[in-house]
């Protein structure tokens, strides 16, 4: 079975190139962006402004192809794509939790973005700490790793 998704909006960020952008938005929580929700979906924003954080689901629209194994930014060893956060995935879907600053019509002002300018938005979900944070979660191969803060060109092949 196949699924087709239609963007509900577009994400605007200061990042024009894949290199040197944050590998996760939480590492640069002050980086501002805007989320433009298309008018036909803006009614769905009702009551979103009461949340401090939201989860954005989006398409890695500049990523072509996928790798089932790759070397992530924070390691020098290869890992399976489902054990890393590579944009080169069988289904190029990304997610980031951002701080919601304001809702003005169909425009959301957010902080903590880590996606390219012009990224297609697939969905928005409210962040609910009691549901979205797992206490005492294990981090597998990431245990003891220090996070690299910016991306490089390792996932740009075939683009």
Q: What is the pLDDT of residue 155?
A: 56
Count of Cβ atoms closer than 10 Å to residue 59 Cβ:
19
Whether the Cβ atoms of residue 92 and residue 59 lie closer than 8 Å to each other: yes
**Domain coordinates in residue numbering, the chain:** 9-129
Q: What is the pLDDT of residue 151?
A: 62
Q: What is the pLDDT of residues 3-29, one digit of tens each?
A: 999 999 999 999 998 877 777 777 778
Count of Cβ atoms closer than 10 Å to residue 103 Cβ:
20
Q: How many Å apart are CA 36 and CA 142, to the nearest integer? A: 34
Whether the Cβ atoms of residue 113 and residue 54 lie closer than 8 Å to each other: no
Q: Which residues contact 116 (CB under 8 A, 6 or more apart)?
A: 13, 15, 16, 17, 18, 21, 61, 62
Q: How many Å apart are CA 122 and CA 96, to the nearest integer? A: 12
Q: pLDDT in tens for each of the 159 residues of the chain?
A: 999 999 999 999 999 988 777 777 777 788 999 999 999 999 999 999 999 999 999 999 988 889 899 888 788 899 999 998 888 899 999 999 999 999 999 999 999 999 999 999 999 999 999 888 888 888 787 777 666 555 666 556 555
Q: How many Å apart are CA 154 and CA 142, to the nearest integer? A: 18
Q: Does domain 9-129 have CATH number 2.40.30.70?
A: yes
**Total H helices, total E strands in the chain:** 1, 8
């Amino acid at each position: 079975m196949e699924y087709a998704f239609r963007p509900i909006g577009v994400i605007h960020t200061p990042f024009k190139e894949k290199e040197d952008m944050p590998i996760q938005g939480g590492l640069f929580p002050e980086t501002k962006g805007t989320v433009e929700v298309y008018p036909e979906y803006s009614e769905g924003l009702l009551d979103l402004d009461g949340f401090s954080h939201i989860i954005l689901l989006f398409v890695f629209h500049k990523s072509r192809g996928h790798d089932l194994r790759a070397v992530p930014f924070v390691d020098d060893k290869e890992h399976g794509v489902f054990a890393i956060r590579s944009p080169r995935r069988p289904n190029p879907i990304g997610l980031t939790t951002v701080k919601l600053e304001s809702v003005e019509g169909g425009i959301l002002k957010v902080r903590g973005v880590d996606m390219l300018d012009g990224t297609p938005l697939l969905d928005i979900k409210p962040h609910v700490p009691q549901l979205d944070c797992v206490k005492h979660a294990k981090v597998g191969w990431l245990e003891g790793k220090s996070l690299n803060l910016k991306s490089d060109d390792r996932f740009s092949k075939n683009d």
